Amino acid sequence: MNDPRAVPQAAADFDAVIVGAGFAGLYMLHRLREAGFTARVFEAGDGVGGTWYWNRYPGARCDIESVDYSYSFSPELEQEWQWTERYPRQPEILAYLNHVADRFDLRRDIRLETRVTVAHFDDAAGVWRIETDRGDRCTARYCVMATGCLSAPKVPDLPGVERFAGATYLTGAWPHHEVDFTGLRVGVIGTGSTAIQVIPQVARQAKHLTVFQRTANFSVPARNGPLPVAEQQRVKAGYRERREVSRRSLFGIPVAMPDAPRRTRDIPPAELSASLEALWAQGGAMSLLAAAPDILMDPEANARVADFVRDKIRATVKNPAVADLLCPTTHPLGTKRLCLDTEYYETYNRDNVTLVDLRATPIDTLTEHGLRTTVQDYPLDALIFATGFDAMTGALAAIDIRGRAGHRLRDDWADGPHTYLGLASAGFPNLFLITGPQSPSVFTNMVASIEQHVEWIADCLDYLRAHRIARIEASENAQADWVAHTAAIANSTLMPQADSWYVGANVPGKPRVFTPYLGGLGPYRQRCDQVAAQGYAGFELTPAPITA
């Protein structure tokens, strides 16, 4: 007898369309093909790599160590690839991803220079209808958004920008050729993670560099350097265990979850200072955060570490007035992304670098010859916008996504994203998000989070095929509970206090919602596994009709 709940399932061009060919899209394609599904990837860039394709600015580097910021799914890949530095540079990560595309023969299913503009769910046929800016039209049973969390760059709407006669650069869409700033007067707008990488590099080349700072940020030295072969071999010998610790950890790095975290206020001041000094000397942002386990919960704990970093800034920057400006005062440490740098603060000791405080003297306009604040003209030959991204939702909002009964994702999310586990959204059957809003994503090593999502999605599609399920859709109730749970965790921390891109504060008009899931990758993985083990609890599954 036919199941009365059964829904149509017309033939489709592909089992899945995947949007984006960065870390997420490449692995999703590989995993689906391995499981016997057909898939097509559409990628806007003319090469694979996602974030690492676009962000080619000088100094671009990952803030997670190379040996961890890499795929774990293939032990052979793990063993054969050689990293050269503790923290990988953009060209090296891009080369790695190109190697992955070749090694797993992924390119034949990837269409480059093709941006997905439309993804509509056809209720009657039970397929997604996809359109691209090249006029492609195709259907797929599933649509997987591998669009990235930081992939929609944001240029501020500054008056006079069209008048500026010099060259302008956007860090998130950097030219593919080398840019030479030798002999030029260069301006950088922004002092986030990106600017903190770009500024020391450009300062070495430019005749003069003017940094326009609106908000000072906390930054920790990377202590980057070559990765000795012996050290890499040691990691490779113990990779399985290292990866396992990362998979169960809070941040997706090989630091085990503490059994009974100590409160910072219980740590004697001398012991805390000694451990902070040691971590500062060793370098790395995540480990500094781990030094005070309640740093994101307890204002007093936070202040102790923040004071330590401010003291370091003052000890490094020779001009006390400049040092003062560089000391963050607007937010607790870690509530904006804690930056990782190489000689960032030292750069302000150079004679050819000027720091401008945009809070005291805001930008008035760009002119033909430079930038004018409310008090002064700064002549510039080139201007770099290191002004960030419409994070977490920007790339999804740029696509016309419509689900069941014409639901528009943009409308449904007008008051902030609504997802179940950051993987799916009610009203959008057979649509999956990789590292979507309300998943751990940017609060972890992205590659570890991507692998967890990709594997969960691939297993899910396998289950649906085996059980002849035509549609999977997040239930409204499960979604509401998940959104509330995500918000409750965020609100129990200091995180929402900062005007960060985590809350969308950097995009005028964006609803203020704390978007990443802060419960940690390990616990989140357990929850996702539990959902799957319970036959996809919290999802509505609709069978396909039995055909003779």
Residues in contact with ligand NA7 by the rule CB under 6 A: 150, 156, 189-195, 214-215, 337, 358, 386-389, 442, 501, 506
Residue type, 431: L
Nearer to ligand NA7, 302 or 335 (CB): 335
Q: C-beta of 344: minimal distance to ligand NA7 in Å?
A: 12
Nearer to ligand NA7, 290 or 340 (CB): 340
CA–CA gap between residue 338 and residue 497 (Å, rounded)? 15
Q: C-beta of 269: minimal distance to ligand NA7 in Å?
A: 31
Cα-trace Rg, the chain:
24
CA–CA gap between residue 26 and residue 101 (Å, rounded)? 7
Q: C-beta of 361: minimal distance to ligand NA7 in Å?
A: 12
Q: C-beta of 248: minimal distance to ligand NA7 in Å?
A: 23
Residue nearest to ligand NA7 (CB): 192
Instruction: State residue 186 phi and psi, 5-degree precision.
Output: -115, 140
Q: C-beta of 212: minimal distance to ligand NA7 in Å?
A: 6
Residue 515, C-beta contacts closer than 8 angstroms, at least 6 positions apart: 391, 392, 393, 416, 417, 437, 438, 502, 503, 504
Nearer to ligand NA7, 90 or 264 (CB): 90
For residue 289, the cross-strand partners are none
CA–CA gap between residue 75 and residue 304 (Å, rounded)? 42
- Number of H-type helices and E-type strands within the chain: 17, 20
Nearer to ligand NA7, 8 or 156 (CB): 156
| Residue 214 CB neighbours (<10 A) | 18
First to last CA, the chain: 11
Q: C-beta of 339: minimal distance to ligand NA7 in Å?
A: 7
Count of residues making up the chain? 548
Q: C-beta of 515: minimal distance to ligand NA7 in Å?
A: 13
CA–CA gap between residue 187 and residue 355 (Å, rounded)? 10
Candidates 116, 146, 137, 142; CA nearest to 127 is 142
Nearer to ligand NA7, 191 or 438 (CB): 191
Q: C-beta of 165: minimal distance to ligand NA7 in Å?
A: 20
Instruction: State residue 431 phi and psi, 5-degree precision.
Output: -110, 130
Q: C-beta of 133: minimal distance to ligand NA7 in Å?
A: 25
Nearer to ligand NA7, 399 or 442 (CB): 442
Nearer to ligand NA7, 290 or 386 (CB): 386
**DSSP state for residue 144 in the 8-state scheme:** E
Please list the helix, strand and coil fractions of the chain in percent, rounded to the nearest 5, in that order: 35, 20, 45
Nearer to ligand NA7, 129 or 337 (CB): 337
Are 57 and 198 a contacting pair, CB within 8 Å?
yes
- Tokens 């050729």 belong to which residue? 177
Nearer to ligand NA7, 241 or 377 (CB): 377
Residue type, 211: V
Cα angle 86, 274, 444 (rounded to 5 degrees) comes to 40
